[in-house]
Amino acid sequence: MAAREDYDKLLRSVRELTGVEGLEPDADALASVRVDDAYNVNLQFVEATGKVLCFIEVLKLPADADKAVYRDLLAGGLFGRLTGGGYFALETETETVVYNHFFDLEKAAADVEDFVSTLEKILQLCDMWAERVKGVMAGGEAPAPAHAPDFRFFP
């Protein structure tokens, strides 16, 4: 099973490939970097599973957001169909929609370029969903399902 040292090595490889020096893990194996002044990409190594959790705050919802917003987020996440295999959660104190995706550390480390490409696609997905949710909140119906960027780490 992957260890913390493998995670640190993956992040070093990502920094070398992208030039993003700020992606440094803390003592709890959490690394965070601001991207395009829009999102914080957070990577957290979960030692018990050998996985890397990527989580991104997508947008804040008003406390009185219509149930259509939540329905759309849940329906889009069914079987990972429109979420690239990830899922949405709600941080209840701030009403922030958070996108979560687990990576197998060994697979990510085996192809760092693909890992970085997948992170870029996740950011595109977050943009897509932020716009979709804003449209639903503006009173419009959810647009016809769009196809999420194609990225999955499933065999």
Determine the residue type at 62: P
Question: For residue 14, is pLDDT > 90?
Answer: yes
Question: If pLDDT is split at 50, 70 and 90, which confidence band does 155 have?
Answer: very low
For residues 105 and 8, the answer to whether their CB atoms sit within 8 Å is no
Whole-number percent of the chain with pLDDT over 90: 70
Question: For residue 38, is pLDDT > 60?
Answer: yes
Cα(95)–Cα(6) distance, integer angstroms: 34
User: At 91, phi and psi to the nearest 5?
Assistant: -85, 110
pLDDT on residue 22? 84
How far, rounded to the nearest angstrom, does the alpha carbon of residue 44 sit from its chain's CA centroid?
A: 11
Q: What does the pLDDT average to over 52-71? A: 94
CATH no., domain 4-137: 3.30.1460.10
Q: Where are the beta strands (DSSP E) in the chain?
A: 30-35, 39-46, 51-60, 87-91, 96-104
pLDDT on residue 81? 82
With CA atoms as reference, report the closest residue to 69 among 126, 148, 136, 128.
136
pLDDT on residue 152? 43
Query: Which two tokens mark 65?
Result: 């957001």
Q: What does the pLDDT average to over 127-139? A: 89
